[in-house]
Amino acid sequence: MKIRMASVEPIHFAGVDTLSLRQLDELNGLPKGSSFRWFKACEGELVEGLDYFHLPADGHQAFIDQLRSAGQIYASTRHLLLLTRRGYEHLRARSLG
């Protein structure tokens, strides 16, 4: 699985370019929910704030709504999960290893 950052608009958050689970599913030609399951399988190996950001709806609703309107996240997204390049590379390495 190869990330093609040029084909999607990264989501800039906390000074870092990130990708949503929807964007990862689309980049990798996976059905909805695949990247979430992939993330959950590796979550214990990842560092929040470095590999990913978890944004609960109660503190980030306006940002989530903005991304939903732009089509960058799934319409059903309640709490947002954004992966950094480092986090995505870790998931890729684990899935290939």
Query: Per residue in 2-47, pLDDT tens?
Result: 444 457 899 999 999 999 999 999 988 899 999 999 999 999 999 9
Helix axes 85-96 and 34-42, enclosed angle (nearest 10): 90
The pTM score is 0.88
95 — pLDDT class (breaks 50, 70, 90):
confident
Sheet holding 80-84, edge to edge: 11-13, 16-20, 80-84, 52-55
Strands (E), the chain: 11-13, 16-20, 52-55, 80-84
pLDDT of the residue at 94: 80
The span from the CA of 47 to the CA of 74, in Å, is 24
> First vs last Cα of the chain: how many Å apart?
12
pLDDT tens digits along 49-60: 999 999 999 999
